[in-house]
Structure 1
Amino acid sequence: MEFLLTSLVVVLIPGTGVLYTVSTGLFFGKRASFFASLGCTLGIVPSLLASILGLAVVIHTSALAFQIVKYAGVVYLLYLAYLMWKSNDSLSLNEEINAKGVLSITLKGFLINILNPKLTIFFLAFLPQFLPINNASYTSDMLSLGAIFMLMTFIVFILYGLLSNSIRNYLINSQKISRFIQRAFAGTFALLGIKLAFANQQ
């Protein structure tokens, strides 16, 4: 129960993944926000496996490894900010997205989490707190807790996407509002990129 409550608080706190899911839901509808949620959730897998296999220790102790992953994440967030700023898409009732669009949305969500070195370190510090001392099934228990965390993330992100879609219905077909929202999200992505650039290993 302690793990579930703590995880819920962590998942509910708006971060880059939530921002991406909400912006996707606003501009492309609830179906697109579902795949954004899926991509962000799948992006947790590499960090979880890295923590279990001990790679997080390398990232935590190696300044070079941490900086490489960090700045790759910074560049990607700034790239997303640029795409959002330059986008000509406006809010509309058309929610149709083709297979290529689905793949692109899912991949972007996946990359948002995989390029965040703090997520790997988070799992290394977070999950072991909820394991029994002298645990003999460390790997399986870590995988179980990680799977629960991912499921909670997926559900919460879907709810964020549905919420953004309901707001979207009130903003439909307004070019001025669309541009304002685009610029706001672009600026937020840029700020998150700058924040990540100044992040340290601690």
Structure 2
Amino acid sequence: MSPTFLLTTLAVVATPGTGVLYTLAAGLSHGRRASLVAAFGCALGVLPHLAATLTGLAALLRTSTLAFEALKYLGAGYLLYLAWTALRATDAPAVDGGGPRPAARVITSAVLVNLLNPKLTVFFVAFLPQFVPAGAPDSLGTMGRLGAVFVALTFVVFAAYGVCAAAVRDRVLARPRVMAGIHRASAACFVGLSAWLAVS
């Protein structure tokens, strides 16, 4: 496997975006387990984009303006929902007062974060083929393996982000104003990402 592919993938995955932000929020609000579950969910959310690339659906998104715009605005709307959820959380200093958040709910939200991001599909269409030799007899298999590496690195990097956030959670929870500020900052970031997705 090309070192260039690994380095490029690592750079792309490590760049903070909606998935990283969601995983950090899960670690700060609900602890290490929730951050790992969120990282797993974000990694799962990459799989449909990979499948779309391998089956040619991504080409439809690129050629159909209506389909691409619909997915884009769904993603922007979901980010606004996450921003609203973060703002609501500022009203409750004890963010874990109701016990740990159900894993299924965390995974569902994490999957949606990446699933409703059409940029991932476009990225796969433009990125993966560059590392598949022209005329290779098993081009789909090669793309599938490279995609699996991307998914695995997504989980590892996001999990590292989440675990680091969970490690400082107790200190943050001891300062309700800091936690409230983090929720507001998260909401602002989600709104900004939503606006960027909508106009890009």
Q: Is TM (by shorter chain) over 0.5?
A: yes
- Following superposition, the deviation at residue 80 of structure 1 comes to 0.5
- Structure 1 stretch 104-113 or stretch 167-176: which is displaced more? 167-176
* TM-superposition CA deviations, 1:102-132 (whole Å, max 9, x none): 1111110100111011110100110010011
**Structure 2 spans left out of the alignment, 5+ residues:** none
- What SS does structure 1 have at the residue aligned with 2:168? helix
What CA distance in whole angstroms lies between the structure 2 residues aligned with 1:146 and 1:31? 26
Whether the aligned pair in 2 keeps the contact of 1:43 and 1:112 (CA below 8 Å) is: yes
Whether the aligned pair in 1 keeps the contact of 2:29 and 2:96 (CA below 8 Å) is: no
* Aligned equivalent of 1:66: 68
* TM-superposition CA deviations, 1:144-193 (whole Å, max 9, x none): 00001111110000100011112223222322111111111011111111
- Following superposition, the deviation at residue 90 of structure 1 comes to 3.1
Whether the aligned pair in 1 keeps the contact of 2:36 and 2:162 (CA below 8 Å) is: yes
* Aligned equivalent of 2:188: 187
Q: Alpha carbon RMSD of aligned pairs, Å?
A: 1.6
- Residue pairs, 1:39-188, within 5 angstroms: 39-87=41-89, 88-90=91-93, 96-97=99-100, 101-188=102-189
Whether the aligned pair in 1 keeps the contact of 2:82 and 2:190 (CA below 8 Å) is: yes
Q: Quick one: structure 1 residues 104 and 62, their matched pair in 2 at CA, closer, same or farther if it must change by over 3 Å?
A: same
What CA distance in whole angstroms lies between the structure 1 residues aligned with 2:112 and 2:152? 18
Q: Quick one: structure 1 residues 151 and 91, their matched pair in 2 at CA, closer, same or farther if it must change by over 3 Å?
A: farther
Q: Quick one: structure 1 residues 85 and 143, their matched pair in 2 at CA, closer, same or farther if it must change by over 3 Å?
A: same
- Following superposition, the deviation at residue 91 of structure 1 comes to 5.7
- Following superposition, the deviation at residue 76 of structure 1 comes to 0.4
**Structure 1 spans left out of the alignment, 5+ residues:** none
TM-score (norm. length: structure 2): 0.94
What CA distance in whole angstroms lies between the structure 2 residues aligned with 1:77 and 1:68? 14
How many residues align structurally? Answer: 197
Q: Quick one: structure 1 residues 115 and 52, their matched pair in 2 at CA, closer, same or farther if it must change by over 3 Å?
A: same
* TM-superposition CA deviations, 1:16-51 (whole Å, max 9, x none): 100000011011101000010011000000000001
| Runs of 4+ with >4 A deviation | 91-96
- For 1:111, give the aligned amino acid: L
Whether the aligned pair in 2 keeps the contact of 1:40 and 1:110 (CA below 8 Å) is: yes
- For 2:181, give the aligned amino acid: F
What CA distance in whole angstroms lies between the structure 1 residues aligned with 2:134 and 2:195? 39
- Residue pairs, 1:14-53, within 5 angstroms: 14-53=16-55
TM-score (norm. length: structure 1): 0.93
Report sequence identity in percent: 42
What CA distance in whole angstroms lies between the structure 2 residues aligned with 1:6 and 1:73? 25
What CA distance in whole angstroms lies between the structure 1 residues aligned with 2:186 and 2:25? 7
